[in-house]
Chains A and B, each alone.
Chain A
């Protein structure tokens, strides 16, 4: 099993550009999520999905879109990049979260810089 994979590993964007961060998992997990990590802020939830076709917002969803057309893939789209979106982005998957939480498997992360 590859686990959770993310591409690209690094990305530099100019303000206003759009891009998609890719995330895929091969563990047949229903639950997938995106977090951003900034110094001193921990991991903040952007969006999550409890299954194909179902997505919802986390703590910091503004400026990001997601979709979940398959169980395996959960891409994160930056609509119009801003310097405030400079961060490290982690995708995670599991059998569940919240009150039914289970072990979260994290991808290696994407380090994004917006200039």
Chain B
């Protein structure tokens, strides 16, 4: 079935550096969601993108949905220690399933 691939698997940055994670699908997605999971916690919804070329911002986080609706990215500007965690993208598989990427684990050196 359709898969959502996410890269990189791990990213270590110095506090204040930027961070980007990428999500790619082999098929066109009707929507894409992003989640954050803090260490030891559960995934928490961040945002959903539905339109081709859509860009949404949440403070230092910028989310993009590709023009072809096959890829998406999450960019964090000037990382802070509170950004530590694993970031997941998720896309629909068929009419009723939601499948997740493998996640990108972000660690930060203060």
Contact = CB atoms under 8 A, between A and B. Distances in A.
Interface of A: 31, 33, 35, 40-45, 48, 50, 56, 58-59, 90, 92, 97-109
A40 B45 contact: no
B52 interface: no
Contacts of A58: 97
Interface stretch (B64-72, B74-82, B99-107): B99-107
A13 to B, nearest CB: 21
9 contacts: A40-B102, A43-B43, A50-B96, A100-B95, A101-B33, A101-B92, A104-B90, A106-B44, A109-B42
Interface string B38-50: 0001111100100
A44 B99 CA distance: 7
A104 B98 contact: yes
B92 A59 contact: no
B24 interface: no
B70 to A, nearest CB: 15
A93 B25 CA distance: 24
Interface of B: 1, 6, 9, 30-31, 33, 35, 41-45, 48, 88, 90, 92-103
A92 B35 CA distance: 13
Given A42-B103, A99-B95, A104 B43 contact: yes
A106 B42 contact: yes
- Counting chain A CB atoms within 10 Å of each CB, the highest count among B35, B41, B92, B96 belongs to B96
